[in-house]
Amino acid sequence: MTRHIERRADALSRERIVEAAVALLDVAGESGLTFRRLAESLRTGPGAIYNHVANKGELLAAATDAVLAPALAAEVAADVRAVSLAVFDAIDVHPWIGTQLSTNSTQPAMLRLFESIGRQVKALGVPAGTEFAATSAVTNYILGVGGLNAANARSVSPGTSRADFLADVSALWASLDPDEFPFTREVAGQLRDHDDREQFLAGIDLILNGIRLLGRSN
């Protein structure tokens, strides 16, 4: 058994460890990622993993970076709508990413996301003093809406479809007191029929249109 574990450890690489960590995070979330469970999935010992990754924080950053690499690739990152939607979709598939990006602003994936958005915002010609605020608005919208969408998806009871869930919430909104919640009642039908990705992009467009106005007034 010892020789078998040693052979598995010799075959380890940082890439294999990160790939296994992503798979474990997708199933168990951040709290379920431990070096013991990761070692079991890789059929090795925790010590062999520490030869490649110093701690859980480094492993989470590496896993986030790996998952977001396609979204931040050069051909995608050249368009703010494309990178925004790619990150939104990545958070939808890997909900733990939203937390990681929001709580660690210095990790490589977060820095690359901010840089990508910032370059596109700058290209819109906004005044120098508003570049940071405009870039932060887009970035925070991506992380906020992406994280909220992922949280909503996890809150749906097993066996309940998205359509059924939205229909129930829509019915609840429609039944609210008309004097206290006139607007919420009015848009209840839109909630029932909306598409998450389309609504997300509509929000991105609203922010970008405002940023373009800043550029024109410069």
Tell me the pLDDT tens digit for each residue of 123-165.
888 888 899 999 999 999 999 999 888 887 777 777 788 888 8
Whether the per-residue pLDDT at 2 is higher than 60: the answer is: no
Topology of domain 1-53 in CATH is Arc Repressor Mutant, subunit A (1.10.10)
> What pLDDT is recorded for position 98?
87
Q: How far apart are CA 64 and CA 96, in angstroms?
A: 9
CA 73 to chain centre: 16
CA distance 150 to 82: 19
Whether 4 shows a pLDDT value over 90: the answer reads no
Which CATH class name applies to 69-217? mainly alpha
- Domain(s) labelled CATH 1.10.10.60 in the chain stretch across 1-53
Give the whole-angstrom CA distance, residue 59 versus residue 65.
Answer: 10
DSSP alpha helix (H) spans, the chain: 2-10, 14-28, 35-42, 46-50, 56-68, 74-77, 80-93, 96-103, 108-123, 131-155, 162-174, 182-186, 188-193, 196-217
> pLDDT of 38-91, one tens digit each?
999 999 998 899 999 999 999 999 999 999 999 888 778 788 999 999 999 999
Which among 42, 44, 46 is positioned nearest to 17, based on CA atoms?
A: 42
Question: What type of residue is 99?
Answer: T
CATH 1.10.357.10 maps onto the chain at 69-217
Kindly report the length of the chain: 218
